[in-house]
Amino acid sequence: MVQGRRINPFLLVVVSFLLVMFVGAILLSQSWASNSGLRTNFIDALFTSASALFVTGLAVLETGAHWSFFGQLVILFLIQIGALGVVTIGGYIAYLLGQRFYYADRVLIGGNLGSENKGEVVKVLKTVVRYVFLIEFLGTLLLTVNFLFHGFNFIDSLWHGIFHAISSFANAGFDVFGLGNSAQPLLKIGFALEIVMFLIILGGLGFPVWLDVLEKIKKRSAHKISFHSRIVLLMNISLIILGSLAFYLLERESRLPLVSQAQHLRESIFHSVSARTAGFSVYDLSEMSKPSLVVMMSLMFVGGSPASTAGGIKVTVALVLLLMLWGTVRGDLSMQVMKRKISLKTAFRGLSLAVISSLLVVFGLIFLEFFDDPSFLSALFESFSAIGTVGLSLGLTASLSTFSKLVLIFLMFMGRIGLYVLLYGLIFYAKRRNVIKKYPKAEICL
pLDDT in tens, 8-29: 566 777 888 899 999 999 999 9
Asked if residue 238 belongs to a domain, the reply is: yes
Contact 57, 174 (CB under 8 A): yes
Number of domains, the chain: 1
Average of pLDDT values for 256-269?
92
Q: Is 3 exposed, middle or buried (0-12, 13-18, 19+ CB in 10 A)?
A: exposed
- Greater confidence (100 vs 327) lies with 327
Contact 210, 313 (CB under 8 A): no
Asked if residue 441 belongs to a domain, the reply is: no
Asked if residue 443 belongs to a domain, the reply is: no
Would the CA dihedral through 175, 178, 183, 189 be positive or negative? Answer: negative
For residue 346, which phi and psi values (nearest 5 degrees)? Answer: -65, -40
Enclosing domain of residue 56: 4-431
State yes or no: pLDDT of 422 exceeds 70.
no
Query: How does residue 108 score in pLDDT terms, banded at 50, 70 and 90?
Result: low
Is pTM beyond 0.85 here? yes
- Greater confidence (344 vs 223) lies with 344
pLDDT of residue 378: 95
State yes or no: pLDDT of 430 exceeds 80.
no
Asked if residue 437 belongs to a domain, the reply is: no
pLDDT of residue 3: 47
Average of pLDDT values for 371-381?
95
Asked if residue 326 belongs to a domain, the reply is: yes
Side chain identity, residue 209: V
pLDDT in tens, 160-191: 999 999 999 999 989 888 655 567 778 888 88
pLDDT of residue 4: 43
Average of pLDDT values for 218-238?
85
Task: Count Cα neighbours of 173 within 13 Å in the Cβ-side half-sphere.
Answer: 36
Asked if residue 353 belongs to a domain, the reply is: yes
- Greater confidence (197 vs 416) lies with 197
Asked if residue 159 belongs to a domain, the reply is: yes
pLDDT in tens, 47-88: 999 999 999 989 999 898 899 999 999 999 999 998 887 667
Asked if residue 438 belongs to a domain, the reply is: no
**Across all residues in the chain, what is the average pLDDT?**
86
Query: How does residue 306 score in pLDDT terms, banded at 50, 70 and 90?
Result: confident
- Greater confidence (62 vs 420) lies with 62
